[in-house]
Amino acid sequence: MHIGELAERAGMSLRTIRHYDEVGLLVPSGRTAGGFRVYTAQDLDRLLVIRRMKPLGFTLDEMSELLRVVDALAGAAQEDQPALAARLDASLEDARARHAKLVERAGMAEEFIGTLSTLRASLP
């Protein structure tokens, strides 16, 4: 698929996808004779993983490191798997902690909305 279809299917902007290409997070699987980026279903899956990391506040470097671990797991020799699993476990723990902070912040936002709603209800 071309970048426009990828962007539509992922719900992301072309600019963001191009940026991810520039920084090496999502390199297209190929290019057409005219130089247009071509992406596969696996590229879309990778982009969706990146999109899921973004709200948790992962930096581009952190995303890149985690994707390297995920990529390495796919073809890792059995003796390398424990070290990779440990890195994956650390990332999982980090993601859970980031999620907990987001939940806490969402709760605070809900309280604020409740406060504003109460104030608004008291007005004519």
Q: Which domain CATH number covers 106? A: 1.10.1660.10
Q: Over the stretch 53-71, which tens digit does the pLDDT of each residue have?
A: 999 999 999 999 999 999 9
Q: Over the stretch 29-41, which tens digit does the pLDDT of each residue have?
A: 999 999 999 999 9
The reported pLDDT for the residue numbered 87 is 95
In 3D space, the residue among 30, 37, 34 whose CA is nearest the CA of residue 3 turns out to be: 37
- The neighbour count for residue 30, using CB atoms within 10 Å, is 11
Q: Judge whether residue 86 has pLDDT over 90.
A: yes
Expressed as residue numbers, the domain containing 61 is 3-121
Q: What's the pLDDT band for 74 if we cut at 50, 70, 90?
A: confident
Q: Judge whether residue 75 has pLDDT over 90.
A: no
What is the spatial distance between Cα 25 and Cα 71, in angstroms, rounded to a whole number?
12
Instruction: Give CA separation, 68 vs 24, 33, 41, 53, 102, in Å.
Output: 11, 29, 19, 14, 25
How many structural domains compose the chain?
Answer: 1
Tell me 25's DSSP state.
S
